[in-house]
Structure 1
Amino acid sequence: MNITVARLTVRGLLGRRRGLLLLAVPALLLVLSLIIRATIGQDESTTVNLLGTLALGTLVPLLGLIAGTGAIGPEIDDGSIIYLLAKPLPRWKIITTKLAVAIGCTVAFAAIPTYLAGVILFGNFESLALAYGAAALVAGIAYSAIFLLFGVITRHAVVVGLIYSLLWESILGNFVSGVKDLSVQQWALAVAGKIADPGVVSSAVKLPTAVPLLIVVALGTAVFAAFRLTRLTLAGEE
């Protein structure tokens, strides 16, 4: 990990509109949780639906998209990536540093708020808050790696990422049986199902399948992103 690259990446992610989005998305989840708890009270079904559908199914991939693409995409788009590529710094170290920053953002703005939302909605009963917090953590890692790769391979990373999140994860991943097996959300739900009390959280994928897939996707996309970055010239073209 390179400290200079990490500092510049953090500055780029937390500045301008991305910083506001990173704050607004978890704030929305927490405010909504407070409203639901005040109006409905402590309800297991409502907590599972909100954390599984809104938090894990929508907000976590959105935050992963903002962090993953924002960690490197803008530098490639405006050509400032050449300043990094011109330095005697291994390309894999650039990728791992930016991925570490993106993961840190998803932990701060996705995993922790999801856990807090669970505590607000249902307290610590049945380990629901911890289960969905852990699910948001592992899903955030996978999404950060996937969207970082999108930022490297296409100048339309945000558009491609939105299509992936909305179409593949939110729609097909929830309703089409064959696609569920390849959904990050379902893999994360398998982790949540292991932590929560038995039978509270369900997933279409079993834990022994979900964990290796999460690891393979996170590592595989990071390795491929580093490989693609090595093919960029100082002009920013392959």
Structure 2
Amino acid sequence: METGQPLGRAGGVTPRMPAESGGLAPPAHLVTLSGMRAWCYLVWLSWQRQARASQMVWIAVGLLAFAAALAAIFTAKGAWSMRSWRWPYRQGPTFLQWADAMQIVMSVPDASAGGQGVQAALAAAVRGVVEYSGFAIFSHWGVFLLFLSFLLPLFNLSFATEALGGERESNCLIWLLSRPLPRWAIYLGKFVALLPWTLGLSLGGFGLLCLAGGRPGRLAFELYWPAVLAATLAFSSLFYLLGAWFRRPAVAAIVYAFFLEVILGNMPGYLKRISIGFYTRCMMFDAASAFGIHPERPDVFLPVEGTTALAVLLGLTLGFLGIGVVLFSRAQYQEMV
């Protein structure tokens, strides 16, 4: 061995590095490109794992099919409209028959001009109420009570809680954290992979329910889909945060969605403003105000404007993501026995 050459730990010769190349470290742009490819692969892999529907997802899909079938039956029977409604105690003609009778009376030649004017106004008012009654009834029962209060939270928690909660239960999260990616990138990557499923199930399920609702349902989808989109983002980020926080996130999400959300969303005063459903309903009320869709008691509900509600929902989405990134970056996860 030649003298004057440094020895390595194993007695070998340590190779000399060129001074200008900075050693064997790759260029910065190659490191960035490699990290981006790893992040995209994580998103793709997480999206594929979400395709393995859990039991909660199948329950949500089954309830959606049942709700759509029920809405289709109501549509076939004309239950979304007041056309077949009668006066109190179910006596006399229906509302629509009464309006037609007013038209016949108006055609009598010797009827007074003043009487014809009153009859025409009454007939037009009744026909207007009957025409848009289907939309009001479908909005109340199909959208506000069934979809917004029950199906929408269920759709989101069925996927969002499994994004990280499923990794923890299968003991894959420790392996995932050992990959050469920062934790914030892992957290955001899995959330991006989650969105196509939650948005597809929420908007697609809402569209299917509205399609089964006939003409009132189609009008409801046209007016309400932006509110459903904003609520899906907020619910997904919240339930995804619960997956990073709790070891059994599905239980915490169910407690929030079907107890706290319902209780807080129906309390008088300003306490309901910490509820996601409150701002979603405000967006819907604002979009359908031209069709007479308003809170039953505005002095108790205290709605906000639609633009304000949208800003709050988007702000909640970003806030939940920020809290989740900080929590996920600092938490110590261990394998579940």
Gaps of 5+ in 1: none
1:93 matched to 2:185? The reply is yes
Q: CA RMSD in A?
A: 2.5
Aligned length: 237
Higher helix share: 1
1:228 matched to 2:327? The reply is yes
Q: Secondary structure at the match of 1:72?
A: helix
Within 1, Cα distance between the matches of 2:289 and 2:217? 9
Deviations 1:141-185 (A, max 9, x none): 100000000000111311111111112222331244333212111
The ranges of structure 1 where at least 4 consecutive aligned residues each deviate by more than 6 angstroms after the TM superposition are none
Residue 75 of structure 2 is aligned with which of 37, 49, 52? 37
Structure 1 stretch displaced more, 206-215 or 14-23: 14-23
Within 2, Cα distance between the matches of 1:25 and 1:109? 12
1:6 matched to 2:98? The reply is no
Give the conservation status (yes or no) of the 8 Å contact 1:127–1:195. no
Give the conservation status (yes or no) of the 8 Å contact 2:279–2:313. yes
Deviations 1:66-106 (A, max 9, x none): 11111111112332111211111122222222222332222
Deviation at 1:189, TM superposition (A): 1.8
Deviation at 1:200, TM superposition (A): 1.9
Deviations 1:38-80 (A, max 9, x none): 1215522321121111101111011111111111111123321
Within 2, Cα distance between the matches of 1:223 and 1:207? 24
Larger Rg: 2
1:48 matched to 2:86? The reply is no
Within 2, Cα distance between the matches of 1:201 and 1:129? 17
Taking structure 2 as the reference length, the TM-score comes to: 0.63
Q: Secondary structure at the match of 1:155?
A: coil
Q: Which amino acid aligns with 1:221?
A: F
Within 2, Cα distance between the matches of 1:33 and 1:220? 36
1:205 matched to 2:242? The reply is no
Gaps of 5+ in 2: 1-35, 82-133, 296-300
Structure 2 counterpart of 1:57: 149
Residue 165 of structure 1 is aligned with which of 257, 263, 272? 257
Residue 285 of structure 2 is aligned with which of 166, 188, 193? 193
- Which structure has the higher relative contact order (CA within 8 Å, separation 6+)? 1
Distance of aligned partners of 1:4 and 1:27 in 2 relative to their CA distance in 1, 3 Å threshold: farther
Give the conservation status (yes or no) of the 8 Å contact 2:152–2:202. yes
Distance of aligned partners of 1:91 and 1:123 in 2 relative to their CA distance in 1, 3 Å threshold: farther
Within 1, Cα distance between the matches of 2:61 and 2:223? 22
Distance of aligned partners of 1:180 and 1:233 in 2 relative to their CA distance in 1, 3 Å threshold: closer
Within 2, Cα distance between the matches of 1:191 and 1:152? 29
Q: Secondary structure at the match of 2:143?
A: helix
Q: Secondary structure at the match of 2:188?
A: helix
Q: Percent identity?
A: 24
Taking structure 1 as the reference length, the TM-score comes to: 0.87
Give the conservation status (yes or no) of the 8 Å contact 1:190–1:207. yes
Give the conservation status (yes or no) of the 8 Å contact 1:44–1:122. no
